[in-house]
Amino acid sequence: MNDIDPVTLKIIWSRLVNVAEESWLTISRTAFSLIISESYDFGCELLDADGESLAHSPRSMPVFNITLSVVARRMLEVHPPSTLRDGDVLITNDPWLCAGHLFDLAVVTPVFRNGRLVAFSASVAHCTDIGGIRDSLAAREIYDEGFQIPPMKLHRAGVPNEDLLTLLAANVRVSNFVLGDVQAQVTANQVGAQRLLEIMDTYGLDDLVEVGREIQGRSERVMRDAIEALPDGTYRYDVSCDGAGEPLVLPVAVTVAGSTIHVDWDGAPPQVERGGVNCTLSYITADCMYILKCLLTPETPSNAGCFRPFSVDAPAGSVLNCDYPAAVNMRTMVGWYVAPALMGALAQADPERVQAFTAFPMWVLAYGQDPQSGTFSDHFACAGGQGAGASADGMNAILFPTSAANTAVELFEARTPLVVDYKELRTDSGGRGRHRGGLGTRFALRVLEDHDRPVLVGFTPNGALVDPPAGPECGGRGPRVSISLHDGDEVVADWALNGLAELCSTRQRLVFELGGGSGHGPADARPLDAIEADLANEYISVDGLSAYGCSMEEGRVVRSSVRISSAEGQTQ
């Protein structure tokens, strides 16, 4: 088929996205683990014969859709097309290829037409367990973190590799769930391959070379246009994160040159010996590309073309490009800071486009014995506040940079002997600014009744040791994350790192306060009626008025004469 007209191209393109979505639905319905079926921690994608992305499911977990291409290209090196057979299925969880830690399993199915390799139908999903140590902070090497699968054949010409499956089953907890999830991926890939071949039949396509060139070319062109609209230059920004207890500074230099962007992390700190906060270059590259795509062409369908104008580099042996066999399980403690770093840098190029710092979500894991239902192990997910934009306040409580959802209080309580005392917006947690940052959430957990055996509650604060980055154009910042244990009225413990609390008595309250988003623009430019509305909504307290240089006089909000000196140091 030569010279595809715009209408046919549009139709084929929509169908490719549709196929990836059908694979996505197949996984969500056939998977066994909660993290896949409820939190949607997975994604599906179609790639061309070179391993370049054609289309992914709209609800793919960010990052997975980008690293799959790295996986597929590496698969082609290990297993060249001449060695692949129809019915082969490939698998790996190598963090240096895939999504940065062993939990993310990539399953890649080559698609053949008339005996020729024409595409890959692929998926990545976060399995519920991969073996290894429970206490991620204690891990020093990847060997501590679980079962490693280098690029291998999971099926050979339709026949499952029983040796690999037996080994996998022997090395993970709840192996029936893990193997079931892998099977769900194989099934979904197969569905995607079948539908892709049907499209090729309908349109008489022998291969996807021209379709790929067209759609990747169009997405690339739109991306290059968007980059060209940015002023050339190198934009630098430093962002601080908690690391594994010793705060780390991540310096980024974003160079816009014509229609390309290069992201350089020169000066990143060396990889951390213990705690698993190291990131692989594959993971960091995907993090960077994901944020750049959000910033530049959010409305364009995603494929390899979107990412061609980008390059990413970080020093070998650094926390952003760690060497094998570094421990990597808690990579989001560092990797999630790519978002504020790139936005901080690009704010200098186009302040209208970026969003101030969005505070990170948290998953709290409750584990123990329920007198009603036996052993339980369940997550309670909740969000921080979104950063403000140049023309809008940040949203309250939104999970970013993941695409997961929160956990219903009633469902969590039904599965655990815990009571959520309250869950609400954290007043005054939005960073001040012309546009205010969104509020984070706060909540408290306690046991339903006194227990002899404690309920263990594990958590991962991200942003408890260092202040969040302030917003662009003198925007303020929200407070740090805080986790504390109260016994009656007394605070008996608090945590700034991964922790595990033991709850036995109904007198104990474990209190979580998540961060809010940073503001955008100077606080004294925020209109008084917006401040009054925030006060009426109790998004800010009367005490919080001072952050805006305001006070109450005779029941009305007025600007006081005191100038706000700087963007720093919002009341906490």
Partner 1 sequence: MTAPASRNAGFRVGLDIGGTFTDFALLDERTGRLSLHKRLTTPEDPSRGALGGLQELLDREGRDLADGLAVVHATTLVTNAVIERRGARTGMLVTRGFRDVLELAREQRYDIYDLFLEFPPPLVPRPLRREVDERMSRDGTPLQDLDVEQLLEQAEYLVRDGVEAIAVCFLHAYRNPDHEQRAAAALRDAYPNVHVCTSAEVVPEVGEYERMSTAVCNAYVLPVVDRYLTRLEEGLKRRGFDGQFHLMHSGGGLLSATTARRLPIRLLESGPTAGAIMAAHVGRIVGAPTLVAFDMGGTTAKMCVIAADGLTRAPELEVARLDRFKRGSGLPIKTQVVDLIEIGAGGGSIAQADSLGLLAVGPRSAGASPGPACYGFGGTDATVTDACVALGYVDAERFAGGSMPLDAGAALEAIDRLGATLKMQANVAVGIHRVACERMASAARAHVIESGLDPRAQPLVAFGGAGPLHAVAVARLLGASEVIVPPMCGVGSAIGLLAAGVSFDYARSAPASLADVDWDEVTRNFDEMEHDATVNIIADRPLRFERSLELRLTGQSHDLEVPVPAGALSVEAADSVQAAFRAEYRRRYETEPPAAPPLAMTWRLRASAPEPDLRIVPVVGDVAPARSRAAWFEATGYVESAVVQRAQLRAGDTVAGPALVEESETTTVVGPSDRCVVDAHLNLRIEVGQQ
Looking only at residues 202 through 241 of this chain, which bind partner 1 when binding is defined by CB under 8 A? 218-219, 222
Distance, in Å, from the CA atom of 182 to the CA atom of 180, rounded to the nearest integer, reads: 5
CA atoms within 13 A on the CB side of 320: 28
Nearest distance in Å: CB 145, partner 1: 24
Give the Å distances, CA to CA, from 265 to 239, 251, 321, 345, 529.
11, 6, 9, 12, 42
Q: Is 365 in the site for partner 1 (CB under 8 A)?
A: no
Task: Calculate the dihedral angle through the C-alpha atoms of 271, 272, 278, 281, rounding to the nearest 10 degrees.
Answer: 0
Considering the complex, state which of residue 139 and residue 398 has its C-beta at the smaller distance from partner 1.
398
DSSP string, 303-345: SHHHHTTEEEE--TTBTTBPPTTB--TTTHHHHTTHHHHHHHH
Burial of 325 (0-12, 13-18, 19+ CB in 10 A): middle
Considering the complex, state which of residue 275 and residue 387 has its C-beta at the smaller distance from partner 1.
387
Q: Is 572 in the site for partner 1 (CB under 8 A)?
A: no
Q: Is 364 in the site for partner 1 (CB under 8 A)?
A: no
Q: Is 541 in the site for partner 1 (CB under 8 A)?
A: no
The single residue among 207, 363, 538, 546 that binds partner 1, judged by CB under 8 A, is: 538
The answer to whether the beta carbons of residues 444 and 512 sit under 8 Å apart is yes
Question: Which residue carries 């910033």 as its tokens?
Answer: 295
Per the structure block, which two tokens stand in for 194? Answer: 């079948």
Nearest distance in Å: CB 422, partner 1: 3
Nearest distance in Å: CB 293, partner 1: 6
The single residue among 383, 474, 481, 510 that binds partner 1, judged by CB under 8 A, is: 383
Per the structure block, which two tokens stand in for 440? Answer: 């984070």
Considering the complex, state which of residue 135 and residue 225 has its C-beta at the smaller distance from partner 1.
225
Nearest distance in Å: CB 52, partner 1: 18
Interaction with partner 1 in 158-197: which residues (CB under 8 A)?
Answer: 176-177, 180, 183, 187
Per the structure block, which two tokens stand in for 235? Answer: 């934009």
**Among candidate residues 117, 244, 126, 108, the one with its CA nearest the CA of residue 177:** 126
Interaction with partner 1 in 391-420: which residues (CB under 8 A)?
Answer: 392, 395-400, 403-406, 408-411, 413-414, 419-420
Nearest distance in Å: CB 301, partner 1: 8
The single residue among 389, 431, 468, 517 that binds partner 1, judged by CB under 8 A, is: 389
Distance, in Å, from the CA atom of 550 to the CA atom of 541, rounded to the nearest integer, reads: 12
Per the structure block, which two tokens stand in for 361? Answer: 């979500």
The 104-113 sheet, strands edge to edge: 53-56, 42-48, 116-126, 104-113, 89-92, 152-156, 159-160
DSSP string, 259-277: TEEEEE-TTPPBPPSSSS-
The single residue among 74, 155, 293, 526 that binds partner 1, judged by CB under 8 A, is: 293
The single residue among 298, 488, 527, 555 that binds partner 1, judged by CB under 8 A, is: 298
The single residue among 127, 295, 464, 497 that binds partner 1, judged by CB under 8 A, is: 295
The answer to whether the beta carbons of residues 186 and 10 sit under 8 Å apart is no
Interaction with partner 1 in 62-81: which residues (CB under 8 A)?
Answer: 62
From the list 22-30, 71-79, 88-96, 551-559, the region that binds partner 1 by CB under 8 A is: 22-30
Considering the complex, state which of residue 213 and residue 559 has its C-beta at the smaller distance from partner 1.
213
- The count of chain residues that interact with partner 1, using the rule CB under 8 A, is 76
Nearest distance in Å: CB 416, partner 1: 9
Q: Is 431 helix (H, G, I), strand (E, B) or coil?
A: coil
Interaction with partner 1 in 314-353: which residues (CB under 8 A)?
Answer: none
Per the structure block, which two tokens stand in for 347? Answer: 């704010």
Considering the complex, state which of residue 322 and residue 343 has its C-beta at the smaller distance from partner 1.
343
DSSP annotation of 518 reads P
Q: What are phi and psi of 6, to 5 degrees?
A: -60, -30
The answer to whether the beta carbons of residues 123 and 23 sit under 8 Å apart is yes
Nearest distance in Å: CB 309, partner 1: 16
DSSP annotation of 423 reads E
Nearest distance in Å: CB 391, partner 1: 8
As a 3-state breakdown, the chain gives helix, strand, coil percent values, each rounded to 5, of 30, 25, 45
Interaction with partner 1 in 92-151: which residues (CB under 8 A)?
Answer: none
Considering the complex, state which of residue 130 and residue 514 has its C-beta at the smaller distance from partner 1.
514
Instruction: Count other Cβ atoms within 10 Å, centred on residue 512.
Output: 23
The single residue among 382, 497, 564, 567 that binds partner 1, judged by CB under 8 A, is: 382
Q: Is 298 helix (H, G, I), strand (E, B) or coil?
A: coil
Q: Is 3 in the site for partner 1 (CB under 8 A)?
A: no
The single residue among 2, 3, 7, 452 that binds partner 1, judged by CB under 8 A, is: 7
Q: Per-residue contact track with partner 1, 243 to 282, x per CB under 8 A? A: ----------------------------------------
CA atoms within 13 A on the CB side of 180: 16
Interaction with partner 1 in 419-478: which residues (CB under 8 A)?
Answer: 419-425, 441, 448
Considering the complex, state which of residue 39 and residue 460 has its C-beta at the smaller distance from partner 1.
39
Q: Is 373 in the site for partner 1 (CB under 8 A)?
A: yes
Helical ranges in 110-153 per DSSP H: none
Nearest distance in Å: CB 225, partner 1: 9
Considering the complex, state which of residue 15 and residue 79 has its C-beta at the smaller distance from partner 1.
15
